[in-house]
Amino acid sequence: MENTFTHALPNKSGYFGEYGGSYIPEQLQAIMQEITDAYDEAILDSTYLSELADLYSGYVGRPSPIFYAKRLSQKYGRGIYLKREDLNHTGAHKINHCLGEALLAKRMGKKKIIAETGAGQHGVALATAAALLGLECDIYMGEVDIAKEYPNVIRMKILGARVIPASHGRKTLKEAVDAAFEAYLKDPVTQLYAIGSVVGPHPFPRMVRDFQTVIGNEAREQMAELTGQLPDHIVACVGGGSNAIGIFSAFLNDIKVELHGVEPAGRSLTEPGEHAATMAKGKPGVMHGFKSYMLQTEDGEPQDVYSVASGLDYPSVGPQHSYLKDIERVNYDTISDEEAIEAFFEISRLEGIIPAIESAHAIAYALKSKRLRGNILINLSGRGDKDIDFVVENYGEKYGIE
Ligand SMILES: *Cc1c(COP(=O)(O)O)cnc(C)c1O
């Protein structure tokens, strides 16, 4: 397999402009260097690359197709194309980087991969990769989330992972990250911490980005085949930012292709704690070992965040997105809960595709934004099976479901 993992950024210290880097204790610094070295070696090794390519095709089902959404296109007067990451094994794009990270862990002689999870999507994808590759897997999860996301907790356990409750503070994602970091510091030799998006200290924003670039590389060829040209616009939702950077990366140098990242405006963009629109409302700060736009309180602590899509409610964002915002290569905008749910039903009923509520944010923007015309490629990051109970309970009546 050809090595396509070469990008100009980040620099050697993990910076995209002023963002990224590695703001962590001395002890972890050495471990991160070890991971960086192992990764640099792996991507020059055709055995590693072809093993990953074989898993993408035989196990994940790649390449994921691009589907022309005819009825949506007709209704909204624009060409809507969907990159179908929802068709991947486990139902979303996260499996792309989990397999890359798990293969790297094996190569480094690690016995166990560990991670935090919020809604459980990263936990399930990582537990899947661990089962496949014969690694142990510990997933740290807030007690509140464990109660809320029961089906994913069960999936992880069926797959053989241990789900370890984080029971301090607000008992959600941030506390899960704390617990996972603590466990990692205790034993960085036999374990590898597999971060779930393009966030965290260097080299994770780079590494996770590289693994997700498969989306954009495929899409570039597929769009050329389907339409004879590149798309006019590409739209993706942004939580940590991995699916978005995965599709954007292959088009960054195509200046004519407009790129749009969509953050969640939640219930209200003007009230702190009621949204997770990091780049719209945040300012540069450091958390979880890296510098980026960040939603923060007056004393610089991470702000509480909220979105109807639990995969999008993170108070920071991948550092490369902060950079791309500042240099104005990508347009970042927001979509509210209500708009996302409306798009969720629209694509379900016009195309027979139930999307993840996260992905519905990208769909809503592609359908609604007045600045979009021509051919629009949406990264459909995941399927909505995980969301149907919640949607029916909270929005069923409005959309005619008894
Ligand atoms: C986790 C998740 C996201 C958000 O994560 P990114 O790193 O921003 O891609 C988006 N869509 C789905 C389906 C997810 O599971």
* Residue from 82, 128, 173, 243 to probe ligand 1 pocket by mutation (most atoms less than 8 Å from CB): 243
Say how many Å lie between the CA of residue 304 and the centre of ligand 1. 19
Residue-wise DSSP of 7-33? -S-S-TTSEETTEE-----HHHHHHHH
Nearest CA to ligand 1 atom 2: 311
CA distance 314 to 331: 19
Q: Could you give the percent of the chain with pLDDT greater than 70?
A: 99
pLDDT, one tens digit per residue, over 27-80 is 889 999 999 999 999 999 999 999 999 999 999 999 999 999 999 999 999 999
Ligand 1, residues at Cβ distance < 6 Å: 92, 94, 121, 197, 237-244, 311-312, 356, 358-359, 381-382
pLDDT, one tens digit per residue, over 96-109 is 999 999 999 999 99
Active-site positions read 94, 116, 381
Say how many Å lie between the CA of residue 27 and the centre of ligand 1. 30
Say how many Å lie between the CA of residue 223 and the centre of ligand 1. 23
Distances (CA, A) of 388 to 14, 34, 53: 39, 42, 32
* Residue from 83, 84, 197, 212 to probe ligand 1 pocket by mutation (most atoms less than 8 Å from CB): 197
In terms of Cα–Cα distance, which of 271, 263, 267 is closest to 394? Answer: 267
CA distance 400 to 91: 26
**In 10 A of CB 285, how many CB atoms?**
16
Q: Evaluate whether 179 touches 171 at the Cβ level (below 8 Å).
A: no
Mean of the pLDDT values across residues 114-136? 96
Tokens of 179: 């617990």
CA distance 267 to 340: 11
Domains in the chain, CATH or no CATH each: 29-58+95-205 (3.40.50.1100), 62-91+209-395 (3.40.50.1100)
Q: What 3-state DSSP class applies to 256?
A: coil
CA dihedral 383, 319, 229, 365 (to 10 degrees): 50
CA distance 346 to 351: 8
CA distance 26 to 29: 5
Q: Evaluate whether 284 touches 293 at the Cβ level (below 8 Å).
A: yes
CA dihedral 281, 276, 261, 292 (to 10 degrees): 60
Distances (CA, A) of 29 to 13, 111, 195, 217, 291: 11, 21, 16, 32, 15
pLDDT, one tens digit per residue, over 223-261 is 999 999 999 999 999 999 999 999 999 999 999 999 999
CA distance 272 to 306: 9
* Residue from 121, 212, 365 to probe ligand 1 pocket by mutation (most atoms less than 8 Å from CB): 121
- Mean of pLDDT over the chain: 95
Q: Evaluate whether 337 touches 267 at the Cβ level (below 8 Å).
A: yes
Say how many Å lie between the CA of residue 312 and the centre of ligand 1. 7
Say how many Å lie between the CA of residue 30 and the centre of ligand 1. 29
CA distance 99 to 125: 8
